[in-house]
């Protein structure tokens, strides 16, 4: 895992709003769900960018936008300098080959009527230039072997596999076209703990082997720390804080990151006594009607008038520009360091 390469994906001012309609005969738009608002980030070659957030924060929408399952309302996604959002037809197809997705639920993302061989080989039907027809079967066997499945099981159906094995099938399908970027949306959250570790290790091994760049989306902060080089914390469609794993976990400066980290149960009864707990009140506001200014202000213990009036930019706070681990971007007017993870 290295993070020094050039940017392979550049996301600029990305916006996705889902319109809300009312009326049947006279349908009119009455508002919009602000799923993603003004996101900008880079994915560097060979790195893993983790995106964490609670349900409804827009992290899955980001995944869909990156692989072009959804079209953005505004903004640009540059793949090797080329704006993907403006492409269509053959040019878009060519780019899509290089950005593949692994889905969360291995039970619903595999067609139950197709054999494993057909599922893993289906990308070749869409992109025939990736493998000549005669060699496809052999390629599929190879892929099954790479993800740790028995190539002899090529003719079996998804229901004959366990959850962990199904997720491996999904990963094999994602790898089929030799992509450069893999967007994984909660790839291990449906799995049992003992199996989760196997899949996390597999993803790490494949990254080395195929020089992949990952966007790893999850709600589990521990898994994200384990696999990511950089981490972005997302809240209500915006990034709250972005930094290296040590910057985010050991030197968080955004109050939301601090609250999120302090809420994670640590499997060690002795550590819990030493922990600094921040209990947030209330729930996440509706993304159809996000708060003005800073979106976290309705649950923030530090909120003042300015927070309702001015949207905090995602930048290194002035008072932290001296350097060190606190000098990372944080969208808070009153950012200050607070260490909440023991150790």
Partner 1 sequence: MTNTLLDVRDLRVEFRTRDGVAKAVNGVSYSVDAGETLAVLGESGSGKSVTAQAVMGILDSPPGRVTGGEVLFRGRDLLTMGAEDRRRIRGAKLAMIFQDALSALNPVMTVGAQLGEMYEVHEGMTRKDARARAVGLMDRVRIPAAAQRAGDYPHQFSGGMRQRIMIAMALALEPDLIIADEPTTALDVTVQAQVMDLLAELRNEYDMGLILITHDLGVVADVADRIAVMYAGRIVETAPVRELYAAPAHPYTKGLLESIPRLDRKGRELYAIKGMPPSLTAVPPGCPFNPRCPLARDVCRTDRPPLYDVAPGRGSACHFWKETLGEG
- In Å, what is the CA distance from 217 to each residue of 85, 87, 99, 183, 270? 21, 25, 15, 8, 30
The secondary structure element, H or E, covering residue 158 is none
Nearer to partner 1, 77 or 261 (CB): 261
Minimum separation from the CB atom of position 99 to partner 1 (A): 26
Task: In whole angstroms, give the CA distance from residue 229 to residue 263.
Answer: 22
Minimum separation from the CB atom of position 3 to partner 1 (A): 14
3-state secondary structure 51-85: EECCCCCCHHHHHHHHCCCCCCCEEEEEECCEEHH
Nearer to partner 1, 137 or 226 (CB): 226
Minimum separation from the CB atom of position 328 to partner 1 (A): 17
Q: Which backbone phi and psi does 63 adopt, to 5 degrees?
A: -60, -45
Nearer to partner 1, 161 or 239 (CB): 161
Minimum separation from the CB atom of position 105 to partner 1 (A): 14
Count, residues in the chain: 343
Which residues in this chain contact partner 1 in the complex, by CB under 8 A?
54-55, 162, 164-165, 192-198, 200-201, 204, 219-223, 225-227, 245, 249, 259-261, 263-272, 277, 279-281, 283-284, 341-343
Nearer to partner 1, 163 or 293 (CB): 163
* Nearest one of 168, 245, 179 to 214, comparing CA atoms: 179
Nearer to partner 1, 130 or 263 (CB): 263
Nearer to partner 1, 15 or 204 (CB): 204
Q: Which backbone phi and psi does 238 adopt, to 5 degrees?
A: -130, 160
Minimum separation from the CB atom of position 277 to partner 1 (A): 7
Minimum separation from the CB atom of position 161 to partner 1 (A): 10
Minimum separation from the CB atom of position 78 to partner 1 (A): 30
Q: Are 33 and 287 in contact (CB under 8 A)?
A: yes
- In Å, what is the CA distance from 197 to each residue of 194, 214, 227? 6, 17, 11
Nearer to partner 1, 112 or 342 (CB): 342
Label the pairing between strands 48-52 and 213-218.
parallel
Give the contacts of 160 (CB within 8 A, at least 6 positions apart). Answer: 153
The secondary structure element, H or E, covering residue 320 is none
């Amino acid at each position: 895992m290295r993070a020094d390469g050039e940017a392979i994906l550049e996301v600029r001012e990305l916006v996705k709003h889902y319109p809300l309609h009312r009326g049947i005969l006279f349908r009119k738009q009455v508002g919009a769900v602000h799923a993603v608002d003004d996101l900008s980030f880079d994915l560097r070659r060979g790195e893993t960018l983790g995106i964490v957030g609670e349900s409804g924060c827009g992290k899955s929408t980001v995944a869909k936008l990156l692989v072009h399952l959804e079209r953005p309302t505004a903004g640009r996604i540059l793949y090797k300098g080329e704006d993907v959002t403006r492409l269509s037809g053959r040019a878009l197809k060519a780019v899509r080959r290089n950005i593949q997705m692994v889905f969360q639920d291995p039970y619903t993302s595999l067609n139950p009527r197709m054999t494993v061989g057909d599922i893993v080989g289906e990308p070749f039907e869409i992109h025939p230039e990736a493998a000549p027809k005669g060699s496809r079967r052999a390629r599929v066997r190879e892929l099954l072997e790479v993800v740790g499945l028995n190539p002899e099981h090529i003719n079996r159906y998804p229901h004959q596999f366990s959850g962990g094995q199904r997720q491996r099938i999904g990963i094999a399908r994602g790898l089929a076209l030799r992509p450069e970027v893999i967007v994984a949306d909660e790839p291990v959250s449906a799995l049992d703990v003992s199996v989760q570790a196997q899949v996390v290790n597999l993803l790490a091994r494949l990254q080395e082997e195929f020089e992949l760049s990952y966007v790893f989306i999850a709600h589990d902060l521990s898994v994200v720390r384990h696999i990511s080089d950089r981490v972005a914390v997302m809240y209500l469609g915006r990034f709250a804080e972005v930094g290296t794993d040590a910057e985010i976990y050991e030197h968080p400066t955004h109050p939301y990151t601090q609250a999120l980290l302090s809420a994670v149960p640590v499997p060690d009864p002795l550590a819990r006594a030493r922990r600094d707990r921040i209990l947030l009140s209330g729930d996440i506001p509706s993304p159809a009607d996000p708060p003005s200014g800073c979106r976290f202000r309705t649950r923030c213990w530090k909120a003042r008038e300015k927070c309702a009036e001015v949207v905090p930019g995602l930048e290194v706070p002035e008072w932290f520009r001296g350097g060190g681990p606190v000098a990372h971007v944080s969208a808070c007017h009153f950012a200050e360091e607070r260490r909440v993870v023991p150790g």
